[in-house]
Amino acid sequence: MSNQLNPKWIGSMQKNFTTTWKFRLILCRILPMGFLSGMKVRQLDEERCVVTVPYRWINKNPFRSTFWAVLGMAAEMSSGALLAMYTFRQKPSIAMLIVGTTAKFIKKAQGVTTFTCTDGLKVRKAIEKTLETGEPECVECLVTGKDKHGNDVAEFTFMWSVKARSGKG
């Protein structure tokens, strides 16, 4: 199997995810709650992804903070966008699935919460390895959420399984 990742498609995904109107169209199609929540990808490059989600009426809980599931959705996007970027139009195609997650909530999320995942190179290596061997690989992504003052709000860990599909994909 070839372990070559196509820089053209990586660049295309970076542009699609960081161009607001394109990302909103993507969300409408694949993650409607992400669209409704106001989630945005602020940065996507080969090393990191930064996603924001605001506190607003549709995202709130009874305790005047952002509902934990909304935080989890934005946190997952910050790791998942890295996987999507590296697997987009890959031949053979890559199956990806979350096989585990943990969350730690540190303080109330009020206002905009910014989630950052800096495990892009780990993701890339796992994808290259599954392309080379055809065997499933697991990659653990740490995501931190901060408020506008830079204070930690939440930490998530996502364990992703990636596997090159056999055949044409």
Question: Across the strands, what pairs with 94?
Answer: 164
Domain that holds residue 54: 7-164
Distance between CA atoms of 61 and 75, rounded to whole angstroms? 18
Question: What is the reported pLDDT for 169?
Answer: 44
Is 127 a domain residue? yes
Gap between the Cα atoms of 64 and 107, Å rounded: 12
User: Does residue 110 form part of some domain?
Assistant: yes
The CATH number of whichever domain residue 110 belongs to comes to 3.10.129.10
Q: How many domains does the chain have?
A: 1
* Residue closest to 9 by CA, chosen among 78, 77, 124, 88: 88
Residue 38 lies in a domain: yes
Q: What residues have CB less than 8 Å from 66, skipping those under 6 apart?
A: 53, 55, 59, 60, 109, 110, 113
Residue 169 lies in a domain: no
Give the pTM: 0.92
Residue 1 belongs to some domain of the structure: no
- pLDDT of 152: 98
Q: One-letter amino acid identity for 45?
A: D
Closest CA to 136 of 148, 126, 146, 145: 126
* Segments of the chain scoring below 50 in pLDDT: 1, 169
pLDDT of residue 11: 83
CA-angle at 20, arms to 116 and 99, nearest 5°: 40
**d(C-alpha 92, C-alpha 166), whole Å:** 7
pLDDT value for 168: 53
Q: pLDDT tens across 53-95, in order?
A: 999 999 999 999 999 999 999 999 999 999 999 988 888 889 9
